[in-house]
Amino acid sequence: MPMPLFDSHTHRMDAPIGSAIINLPMSLIEHPELFRPDEGRLYSAGIHPLYEGDWEQALHNLQLMAGKGLLCAIGECGLDHRNRETLDRQCRFFERQMLLADQAGLPLIIHCVGCWDVLLRLNKLHHPTAPRMVHGFRGKPELALQLLSAGFDLSFGPKFNAHSYLLCPPERRRIETDDTGLTVEMVAERQNERLRRACSTGNH
């Protein structure tokens, strides 16, 4: 009997117990007193790089939540070039969340769009000890190899580069639903179909 699939990153608050890491919305980081965790469910929380609220207060609340043992991972957090005006702030707060993950002994779930050089530089600068996973990875094989060599695991959704997927060692490869509304089984089916097509055409 095959092992059940584990969803490494989802926004579905009703994901089956023990089957996924549920990413909490920013509204619950802003108001942690409203968070009512379900027994057996696994939660992550982080400051998304496109967040437009009070970053300092959000980080304070995140530290409290991690300190109370409410989280199994920090993130998603990271860097996103779609708001270049806040890139300096994104870097500062990403570094602080990297430190929080290390201090709390929790994995880090990373959102990165168009800032791979910065991510690799910060990773090299801080030498984080916590496991690190880039979620929703769609990049080319050259980037995948760079990230893997730097210690990042890669998580793949329904859209991905087949060659990058295939070169990623199975023990470093994750599957996720993110905000697609799909089940993890549906994502796996789409991944398998994409890989079959790529292998049949030789176009990874």
Q: Identify the pLDDT of residue 4.
A: 86
**Which tens digit of pLDDT belongs to each residue from 99-154?**
999 999 999 999 999 999 999 999 999 999 999 999 999 999 999 999 999 999 99
Structural domains of the chain, ranges and CATH numbers in brackets: 7-201 (3.20.20.140)
C-beta of residue 35 within 8 angstroms of C-beta of residue 24: yes
**Which tens digit of pLDDT belongs to each residue from 165-192?**
999 999 999 999 999 999 999 999 999 9
CA distance 177 to 159: 10
Count of CA atoms in the C-beta half-sphere (13 A) of 182: 18
Buried b / exposed e along 30-58 (16+ C-beta atoms within 10 A): eebeebebeeebbbbbbbbbebeeebeeb
Nearest to 77, CA basis, from 54, 107, 47: 47
Asked whether the predicted pLDDT for residue 200 surpasses 90, the reply is no
